A and B are shown apart, each in its own frame.
Chain A
Amino acid sequence: MTNSANNPPLVLGVPSKGRLMDKAVALLAEAGLELVRTGHARGYRGELRGLKAAPVLEVAYLSASEIARHLREGRIAAGVTGEDLLLETMPDVDAVAARRIALGFGHADVVVAVPQCWLDCARMADLEEIAAEHHARHGRLMRVATKYLRLTRTFFAEHGVTAYRTTRSAGATEGAPAAGLAELIVDITSSGETLRANHLKVLDDGTILRSQAMLALHNATAETDAMQELAERVQSTTTIVQQQAAQEGS
């Protein structure tokens, strides 16, 4: 699965749009590194300027999930993406990208959410029982709409929930229970607002992952001068930013 024969090209994957991109650009600027789009303005290629070890580092603008996949396939040497996507995309993320730097933005939780009308369901143990009874009574498994198949399976297995099946959901997962496409969901949420608006509630012990944006370095090239320098400069910047945030908070 991983490209072991050839090292990935020294390319940095950067989110191509949204808050994740804005924050990534700002963080890199803070570290004294400038992102420049090459070709026409909306192109998907760019350059990172300012590293001593690699004055011009190639950049690929990709969606956050593509960045995780490209990293897995060894098509990029480093990428900025969500921890949720890294863990979902790679069964053993350390075997691919052991060095991951938390960037202090893009905070969101991957959670198990059930309809609020399930008044009798507060914990995963409730869900385990409800799912088993549902299967025994109706002969059908409960459906969990999610794009996080792997995270769901691991977490449900840890809590002994077996009487369920996942159903893949690309977008608008929170609408699946109301639409009758699933009984419950596993989804990412930052404030829980969308879940509440859809009459869903997060189980008391239903937080699978507290995710945030990360810079992940492919193992095969993590020791190159360019990647070392990139990691160190991003690391020291995030540390400073986080210390400032902590001071402002106190």
Chain B
Amino acid sequence: MTISATPAARIMALFAREGFTPVDPPIMQPADVFIEKSGEQIRAHTFLFTDPDGVAELCLRPDLTVPTCRWHLQHAADPAGEAKYCYAGPVFRYHARSDTPHEYEQVGLEWFAAPDAVAAEAQVLALAVQSVRAAAEEGAHEATQATPARQEQATPVPLAITIGDIGLMRALLEDIDMPPRWRARLLRRLRRPQAFHQTLRELSGDGERARTSLSPLVDELAEQPGMEHALALAERELDARQLELVGGRTLEEIATRLLEKAENRHLPPLAQEQVAMIEQLLTIRAPLKPAIVQLGKLADAAGAASRAAWQHFAARVEHFARLLGDDARRILFDAAFGQSFDYYTGFVFEITAPVRGAAQAVAGGGRYDNMLASLGGPDVPALGMALNMPRLLAALHGQEAAA
């Protein structure tokens, strides 16, 4: 059997067989769109520069998801139709304190408007696992010749797969009666446990709400709530202090938040059993089978949205079993797990492998349904994943050395 030249090429061949079209978006990207999508945390790791005329702000792509989205919107005959892309190429990230290289190879895929959402999610994860295997083929081949007794047909390295799904928490909060802004606040803080629990305590009326420099204004509005009063109050304040409206916000936006603060004083806090349900969901961390059982019990107690999200989850798990076989047992569900990008909207996963003794992420991905629309394209779902090739190869070589 002949094996393609490089691990990256073997993975790309695998993607091509599954119907993904190779694309090669430009390495240089407009900085603005990138930063607007990924935020300051990515900016801190991005190489930014201006063109020689000092006009356009550019960057070296820190990953290939946004460039592939842009490529799709510029080149696809029907940007709203299904499209499957794969890529292999350098990405650039600055790390001030570590010896991590600033340039490294990423191999990955993006899948827009997949017809069957959960099947596609499972397939993307399966492809990530198969990619690891494809990358290892050559090494495993050599090793087999050297030591014929060695029989490890599944994954060549001890992979650990963690999955999460923000959709489960979104559904649970939907089932609990509360103002929409409370849900938004909790979801935003989901990945910061301390802030999340602090917010939960505040919303359940547990502990005194801290007084701040704007409390007197809220006191006044709380006595006479209503949007009209809020607007009048805000206007009066600005007039009295001769303040112009700067900072990109309208008087309505400011008055609305003031009013929310005032109204919060009159709203019934979250009940203890509701808080308990939210906290219970966050503690679920288990392999797929027990996770399904625990999530099912919680969903039955919570309501319709949670049950729908649970069915979604269970269907995805069936696909995992079908596509991954024994490897599905390596999957750990962690309700608190989230990817480091804010743009993910649902299912996320991460695959770690031991690299020089420490578990490191070699692949990751998930669903990011809002991206294309926010780039000015059609409102279609999207998901994808990428492999960090140097880390993956280090993990594979380390394994050979240990064998």
Contacts and interface: CB of A to CB of B under 8 A. Distances in A.
Interface of A: 91-92, 114-123, 126, 128-130, 132-134, 137-142, 149, 153, 156-157, 160, 162-166, 177-178, 180, 183-184, 199, 201, 204
A128 B195 CA distance: 11
A137 B184 CA distance: 13
B179 interface: no
A139 B373 CA distance: 10
Nearest to B44: A153
A250 to B, nearest CB: 30
Nearest to B217: A119
A137 B96 CA distance: 34
Interface of B: 35-36, 39-41, 43-44, 96-97, 184-185, 188-189, 192, 195, 212-215, 217, 234, 237-238, 241, 243-249, 253-255, 257-258, 261, 342, 374
Nearest to B341: A162
A160 B195 contact: yes
Contacts of B244: 117, 178, 199
Given A92-B97, A119-B237, A120-B261, A162 B39 contact: yes
Given A165-B36, A180-B246, 17 more contacts: A92-B97, A115-B243, A117-B246, A118-B249, A119-B237, A119-B254, A120-B261, A122-B213, A126-B257, A134-B248, A153-B41, A156-B40, A160-B188, A165-B35, A184-B247, A199-B244, A204-B212
Contact of A119 (B35, B195, B258, B342): B258
Given A129-B185, A139-B36, A162-B342, A91 B97 contact: yes
Nearest to B202: A125
B371 to A, nearest CB: 12
A134 to B, nearest CB: 7
Nearest to B210: A123
26 contacts: A114-B247, A115-B246, A116-B243, A117-B246, A117-B254, A118-B249, A119-B238, A119-B254, A119-B258, A120-B255, A120-B258, A120-B261, A121-B214, A123-B212, A128-B188, A129-B257, A139-B374, A140-B36, A149-B44, A162-B39, A162-B40, A162-B342, A164-B40, A165-B39, A183-B247, A204-B213
A42 to B, nearest CB: 32
A29 to B, nearest CB: 38
Contacts of B254: 117-120
A91 B96 contact: yes
B41 A157 contact: yes
